[in-house]
């Protein structure tokens, strides 16, 4: 792909992510995405084979960006494992409480919607969430090694529990339109991991 083609493709994905984060995948049509991107309607298929292929590419792009931010945080050697985990979940709260729908977690927004709709998108989302779980487990293990995480639970199991709890808390926060479930998840995280 030439540079202009890649830039246009990324621009379509960026505009699409804002719309999908606000309205969901099914709630956004191709014409709306292309109008937002300022791209002629007929050119969509130069970049994506189908709306489903667009959705999978959107998720791949989302996870690449998200994981690079997680990696930067979890690589910080000036913070203990516990401090890195707390910072990660503080950022989660900030993101989910933001008024900007485009900045919110696409996993929370789309998991239930696309799981039965598109196997390609479900597989992409599963691979992305598995990558997040591996990183969380690695950070928990680092915290256990440096003594800042007192839990002796296997890091992979702890990561699975935490991630599920935070996804559930995010859904409750959306339903309630308040942050109480996220604050409870934060307190539970500290207690569950026995953070020092």
What CATH number corresponds to the domain at position 142?
1.10.357.10
Considering its fold, how many domains does the chain have in total? Answer: 1
116-131 pLDDT, tens digit per residue, is 999 999 999 999 999 9
Is 88 inside a domain boundary? Answer: yes
Is 31 inside a domain boundary? Answer: no
149-193 pLDDT, tens digit per residue, is 999 999 999 999 999 999 999 999 999 999 999 999 999 999 999
pLDDT of residue 80 exceeding 70: yes
Q: State which residues form the domain around 123.
A: 52-193
Is 169 inside a domain boundary? Answer: yes
Quick check: 106 and 121 in contact, CB under 8 A?
no
pLDDT band of 88, cuts 50, 70, 90 = very high
Is 90 inside a domain boundary? Answer: yes
Q: For residue 177, how many C-alpha atoms fall within 13 Å in the half-sphere facing its CB? A: 1
For residue 183, what pLDDT is reported?
98
pLDDT of residue 2 exceeding 60: no
Least confident of 14-28, 33-47, 96-110: 96-110
C-alpha–C-alpha distance, residues 46 and 193, integer Å? 48
Is 7 inside a domain boundary? Answer: no
Give the list of residues 6+ apart from residue 154 with CB closer than 8 angstroms, or none.
Answer: none
Angle (deg, nearest 10), helices 106-115 and 155-176 = 90
For residue 196, what pLDDT is reported?
75
For residue 102, what pLDDT is reported?
72
Is 133 inside a domain boundary? Answer: yes
Least confident of 38-42, 78-82, 153-157, 188-192: 38-42
Helix (H, G, I), strand (E, B) or coil at 149: strand
Is 8 inside a domain boundary? Answer: no
Is 165 inside a domain boundary? Answer: yes
What pTM value is reported for the model? 0.92
């Amino acid at each position: 792909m030439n540079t202009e083609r890649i830039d246009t493709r990324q621009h379509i994905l960026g505009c699409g992510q804002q719309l999908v984060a606000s309205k969901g995948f099914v709630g956004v049509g191709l014409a709306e995405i292309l109008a937002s991107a300022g791209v002629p309607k007929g050119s969509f298929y130069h970049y994506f084979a189908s709306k489903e292929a667009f959705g999978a590419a959107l998720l791949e792009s989302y996870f690449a960006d998200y994981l690079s931010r997680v990696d930067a945080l979890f690589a910080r050697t000036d913070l203990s494992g516990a401090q890195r985990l707390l910072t990660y979940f503080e950022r989660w709260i900030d993101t989910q409480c933001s008024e900007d729908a485009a900045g919110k977690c696409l996993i929370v927004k789309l998991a239930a919607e696309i799981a039965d709709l598109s196997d390609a998108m479900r597989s992409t989302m599963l691979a992305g969430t598995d990558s997040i779980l591996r990183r969380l487990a690695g950070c928990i293990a680092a915290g256990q090694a440096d003594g800042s995480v007192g839990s002796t639970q296997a890091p992979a199991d702890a990561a699975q529990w935490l991630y599920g709890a935070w996804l559930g808390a995010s859904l409750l926060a959306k339903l309630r339109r308040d942050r109480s479930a996220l604050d409870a998840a934060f307190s539970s995280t500290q207690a569950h991991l026995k953070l020092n």
